[in-house]
Amino acid sequence: MTLMGMQDYLYQTQSKNLNDTWELDSTILTFDKDILLDTIMLDAATLGINTTNPDQYYRQCAMWWNKWKYTFQTWWKVAETEYHWEWNTEWWEDGTNSETGSGTKDGTNSETQVIDGDTTYGKSGTSKEVMDDDTTGSLSASGSSHTTNEVSAFDAPGNDPYVPHDTSSTSSSNSENTSGTDDRTTDVNWSENGTGTDDKTITTNGTTGEEVSSQKDASHDIYKRGNIGVMSTQQLERETMETKFHYNPYELMAAVFIKEMTCAVW
């Protein structure tokens, strides 16, 4: 039985394909197992297989895939690697800087608070004042007085220009005895109303000492690319095209399958 005949028989009788187990990791994005099976059929459709048992050959295809899976994944990772074929140098640099510090922050503060207030107040009432005064006493006085009146004359003789005009003397004495009471009761009605302001200014001064710490982190990324002159851009282009042609992953994988899973029919 040929390889094509085996695939057709499996699909028609059991709805199976030889590539049912051919899966790569999810990180491989461009691999398609149906394209791989089609490539194998194109390259080896008329070749025979080493068994006529469909189930056995189906299991052998799964075993073959598990043996080569790691290699196939490596090929595809290389094929999917993105690069700029016109450059022959490309590199990245990542860096991180960290700075820490601590200290004391000293300072002064001043605060002024002004309070303006207008107030209106009033009060009224009545009160009674009582005075009760009893007095008993005596008063006496005595004394004498002498008065001399002097005038100045234009023709006064000698050096003293003042001469006596007249002289009088008086003496007197008196005494007084008193006794009695002075009792009074007074009713007072009063009221007081007024307006005013209550202005206050409050000033507060002080100093503060605060422990502080700081940390500063910085990161930088550098990406450089270009041609360092080892090869020209035209040479890089040519080698890229040759690589893509000679190292097609589907053709490489199909060649491995044909070598191990098919045989010539004589």
Residue that has been written with the tokens 């700029």 in this structure: 84
In tens, the pLDDT along 162-191 reads: 555 555 555 555 555 545 555 555 554 545
Please name the amino acid found at residue 117.
G
Q: CA–CA separation, 2 vs 18, rounded Å?
A: 13
Q: Which pLDDT score, from 0 to 100, does residue 190 have?
A: 46
CB atoms within 10 A of CB 231: 13
Per-residue confidence (pLDDT) for residue 183, from 0 to 100: 52
Alpha-carbon separation of residue 49 from 15, 42, 56, 107 (angstroms): 20, 15, 11, 92
If pLDDT is split at 50, 70 and 90, which confidence band does 138 have? low
How is residue 44 written in tokens?
A: 């080896």
In this predicted structure, the answer to whether residue 5 has a pLDDT above a threshold of 70 is: yes
Q: How far apart are CA 198 and CA 237, in angstroms?
A: 92
pLDDT at 194 over 50: yes
Residue 246, pLDDT > 80, answer no
Share of residues in the chain with pLDDT > 90 (%):
32
Tell me the mean pLDDT in the region 135-159: 53
Average pLDDT over residues 244-264: 90
Within 13 Å of residue 52, how many CA atoms lie on the same side as its CB? 1
pTM above the 0.75 mark?
Answer: no
Give residue-wise pLDDT tens across range 62-119. Answer: 999 999 999 999 999 988 887 676 666 776 777 787 777 776 666 665 666 555 555 5
- What is the pLDDT, as a whole number, of residue 105? 63
pLDDT tens column, 122-137: 555 555 555 555 555 5
Question: What tokens appear for 140 in the block?
Answer: 């006496």
Give φ, ψ of 116 to 5 degrees: -105, 130
Cβ–Cβ < 8 Å for 63, 115: no
Q: Which residue has the higher pLDDT, 136 or 257?
A: 257
Q: Can you say how many angstroms the Cα of residue 122 is from the centroid of all Cα atoms in its chain?
A: 55
Element (H, E) at 152: strand 118-152
Q: Sort 24 into a burial class: Cβ within 10 Å, 0-12 / 13-18 / 19+.
A: middle
Q: What is the pLDDT of residue 258?
A: 96
The pLDDT of 53-70, averaged and rounded, is 96
Contact 225, 89 (CB under 8 A): yes
Percent of the chain whose pLDDT exceeds 70: 53
